């Protein structure tokens, strides 16, 4: 057999040769450094035979693929360590039944059915044993068994491995990986790939948590114990990840929402149905007012639509045939079925159809702060980021095909303006495209609609110079879209908003306009949501700022702290002047010490703390303590008011 190297050279190898054989044939230095290979685009370890004629690239520990190899092996090391722990407690190895142990982002996990529950305090013990196994530099070995022999190996011992083998196709090879020997080792059914020995695993790993997991995700099947671990190439990467996790806990919008009295979720009201408290409601209203004026300036017309609609509307839109599982159960009214609306678009289409349209009416931009309801599984709910009821910053643009590029340019410009005003810079666009080859059921066949739509969006991106990537297979069934990708405090990429092009649904609804030639034509619809939903954007922004809202958004912009009761009268005079200028200020008149009041204001993340005493009352000033600024300032009240108004106006 032969293999093709990256430079195009053929490498002659013996039949059944592995990546280790290929590395050895290239040279002794590479053979020593080799950790695996890429063969025809697939990750191989040094043990698995290469396909004849494969294009290969030998990997070393410098290659990014090394991470996946050692994380996978760490799952096996952890399983071995768990069995050792139970052996010390008097249990036989086969009493720890193993399910699956895959690689995940940043680490690995293993699901297992143990004879007694593990506890959090067991994790350091398991981790210590893992480090001993890594230090022992146990060699790994791959071997293959016939199906009958593999089933016999687990018969009556491990029902999970037995089920996995039975469910595999008859033609699939059943491979096993063994590390160490019978006395001090571990063997597992596994496709691989792995590092050649445990000593090649970097020591920068940590077990993080325990969780329950149903076998194969089915709540009717046994509940297993899952152990999570993280692993990185360097200590710096591990420490950075752990710092990110702590920072994420500190910034978690659910935690901050409770501490800052912004929102709550009540079981009596219902799961996934947030209640906005006064302070949170104020911030959300500020966001809504901001978007209302911003979108009006861009030519949007605001509408209102009901929270429910007749089932017929959602059959026409396609939601009931294709989206029913994500909708609430129907409500029967006078013999007809109604549904809580999952989307605003069908309602907007009916507003478009309310009277005839000509080309002179286009583009028509309809906007709404529309509340929608979707039945999310309770296990997926997460504060404001995943809820069952939320309000979208929604709009639909009805335009001709010739207007698509210009409208997309305007939407991109609006995204840029809004995100700049909110101090968000780490975002980019993803042009989400169809995958006709691998998913024809969803996207159908390539046609002029798809080609023209993609070309129009590309033109808008090129003209604006927007930063973007492409995502094959990420389009909707009705057209390509432009997603706004953003990085969370964890460094994780997420989609926060979208801009979708729709050339299919307008035909379903019979939308039309009269063109310049007097002919009927179907408009194109652009679905866009600059903030996505106010709820989700609020959650992201809360975590992004850690609750340190800018002055223009803060429900309380300043708190006045009188040093003693005799300074209350002056504090009230200052507050009256500030309120007259539409600034939001409160007076802390509690019978507490000044330092305690200042500390409480800091915990509530009030932007400005204004201390007043004898000196300030006599001079007509305030002592200004600004959030995250060490230096204190003394300002005349009038000067402070003008400074605050300027900052609010500039949204700094």
Select from 177, 178, 241, 179 the least CA-distant residue to 205: 241
Q: What is the 3-state secondary structure (H, E, C) of 595-607?
A: HHHHHHHHHCCCC
**Considering 394, 502, 535, 588, which one is annotated as catalytic?**
394
Q: What is the pLDDT of residue 493?
A: 84
183: alpha, beta or left? (left if phi > 0; alpha if psi -120 to 50): alpha
Cis peptide before 363 (omega within 30 of 0): yes
113 catalytic residue (yes or no):
no
Which residue among 348, 349, 374, 597 is the active-site one?
374
Q: Is 396 tagged catalytic?
A: yes
In the annotation, is 294 catalytic? no
Q: How many helices (H) and strands (E) does the chain have?
A: 21, 33
Mean of per-residue pLDDT scores for the chain: 94
CB contact set of 179 (below 8 Å; sequence gap of 6+): 73, 76, 77, 80, 133, 138, 139, 140, 141, 185, 186, 187, 197, 198
Crossing angle of helices 448-464/404-421, nearest 10°?
A: 40
Rounded CA-CA distance 493/120 in Å is 30
d(Cα 327, Cα 321) in Å, to the nearest integer?
A: 11
Residue in 481, 536, 567, 605 annotated catalytic = 481
CA distance 613 to 567: 6
Residues of the chain with pLDDT under 70: 489-490, 652
In the prediction, which pLDDT does 474 show? Answer: 86
How distant, in Å, are the alpha carbons of 212, 224, 230, 316 from that of 114? Answer: 12, 8, 22, 52
Measured over the CA atoms of residue 476, residue 478, residue 483 and residue 488, the dihedral's sign is: negative
Residue 452 pLDDT = 87
- Orientation angle between helical segments 123-135 and 66-88, nearest 10 degrees: 120
Q: What is the pLDDT of residue 490?
A: 67
Q: Return the pLDDT at 26.
A: 93
Q: Which of 178, 527, 536, 605 is catalytic?
A: 527
> Which of 80, 179, 225, 392 is flagged as catalytic?
392
- Look up 394 and say whether it is catalytic: yes
Q: What is the pTM of this model?
A: 0.79
Per-residue confidence (pLDDT) for residue 504, from 0 to 100: 85
**Predicted pLDDT at 33:** 96
Indicate if 244 belongs to the active site: no
* Residue (of 16, 53, 23, 17) closest to 37 by Cα position: 23
Say how far apart CA 456 and CA 233 lie, in whole Å: 43
Distance CA 13, CA 54 (A): 11
In the set 161, 194, 349, 396, the catalytic residue is 396
pLDDT at position 494: 85
Q: Is 301 a catalytic residue?
A: no
The question of whether 345 is a catalytic residue gets the answer: yes
């Amino acid at each position: 057999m032969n293999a093709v190297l990256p430079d195009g050279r053929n490498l002659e190898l013996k039949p059944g040769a592995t990546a280790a054989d290929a590395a050895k044939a290239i040279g002794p230095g590479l053979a020593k450094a080799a950790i695996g290979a890429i063969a025809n685009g697939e990750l191989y370890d040094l043990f698995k035979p290469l396909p004849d004629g494969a294009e290969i690239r030998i990997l070393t520990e410098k290659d990014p693929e090394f991470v996946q190899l050692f994380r996978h092996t760490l799952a096996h090391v952890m399983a071995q360590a768990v069995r050792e722990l139970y052996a010390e407690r008097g249990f036989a190895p086969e009493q720890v039944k193993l399910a699956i142990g895959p690689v995940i982002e940043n680490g690995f996990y293993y699901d297992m059915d143990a004879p007694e529950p593990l506890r959090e305090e067991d994790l350091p013990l398991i981790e210590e044993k893992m480090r001993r196994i890594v230090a022992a530099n146990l060699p790994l070995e791959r071997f293959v068994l016939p199906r009958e022999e593999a089933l016999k190996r687990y018969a009556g011992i491990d029902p999970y491995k037995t089920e996995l083998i039975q469910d595999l196709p008859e033609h699939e090879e059943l491979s096993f990986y063994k590390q160490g020997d019978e006395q001090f080792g571990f063997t597992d059914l596994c496709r691989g790939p792995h590092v050649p020995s445990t000593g090649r695993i970097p020591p920068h790993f940590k077990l993080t948590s325990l969780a329950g997991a149903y076998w194969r995700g089915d709540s009717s099947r046994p509940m297993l114990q899952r152990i999570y671990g993280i692993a990185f190439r360097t200590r710096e990467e591990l420490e950075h990840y752990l710092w990110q996790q702590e920072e994420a806990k500190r910034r978690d919008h659910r935690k901050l929402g409770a501490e800052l009295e912004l929102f709550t979720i009540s079981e009596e009201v219902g799961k996934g149905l947030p209640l906005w408290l006064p302070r949170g409601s104020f911030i959300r209203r500020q966001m809504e007012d901001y978007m209302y004026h911003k979108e009006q300036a861009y030519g949007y017309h605001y509408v209102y639509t009901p929270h429910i609609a007749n089932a017929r509307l959602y059959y026409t839109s396609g939601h009931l045939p294709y989206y029913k599982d994500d909708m609430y159960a129907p409500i029967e009214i006078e013999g007809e079925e109604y549904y809580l609306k999952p989307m605003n678009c069908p309602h907007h289409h009916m507003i478009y159809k309310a009277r005839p349209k000509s080309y002179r009416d286009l583009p028509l931009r309809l906007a709404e702060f529309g509340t929608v309801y979707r039945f999310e599984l309770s296990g997926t709910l997460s504060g404001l980021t995943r809820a069952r009821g939320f309000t979208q910053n929604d709009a639909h643009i009805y335009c001709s095909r010739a207007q698509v590029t210009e409208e997309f340019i305007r939407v991109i410009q609006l995204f840029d303006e809004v995100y700049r005003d909110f101090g968000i810079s780490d975002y980019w666009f993803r042009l989400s495209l169809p995958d006709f080859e691998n998913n024809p059921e969803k996207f159908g066949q390539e046609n002029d609609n798809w080609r023209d739509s993609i070309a129009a969006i590309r033109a808008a991106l090129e003209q604006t110079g927007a930063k973007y990537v492409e995502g094959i297979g990420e389009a909707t069934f009705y057209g390509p879209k432009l997603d706004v990708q953003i990085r969370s405090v964890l460094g994780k990429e997420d989609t926060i908003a979208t801009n979708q092009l729709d050339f299919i649904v307008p035909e379903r609804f019979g939308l039309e306009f009269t063109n310049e030639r007097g002919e009927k034509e179907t408009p194109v619809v652009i679905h866009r949501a600059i903030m996505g939903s106010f709820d989700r954007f609020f959650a992201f922004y809360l975590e992004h700022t850690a609750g340190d809202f800018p002055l223009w958004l803060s429900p309380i912009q300043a708190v006045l702290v009188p040093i003693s009761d005799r300074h209350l009268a002056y504090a009230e005079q200052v507050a009256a002047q500030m309120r007259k200028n539409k600034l939001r200020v409160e007076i802390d008149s509690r019978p507490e010490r000044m330092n305690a009041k200042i500390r409480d204001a800091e915990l509530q993340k009030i932007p400005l703390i204004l201390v007043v005493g004898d000196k300030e009352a006599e001079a007509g000033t305030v002592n200004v303590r600004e959030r995250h600024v060490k230096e204190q300032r003394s300002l005349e009240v009038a000067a402070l008011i003008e400074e605050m108004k300027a900052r609010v106006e500039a949204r700094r």
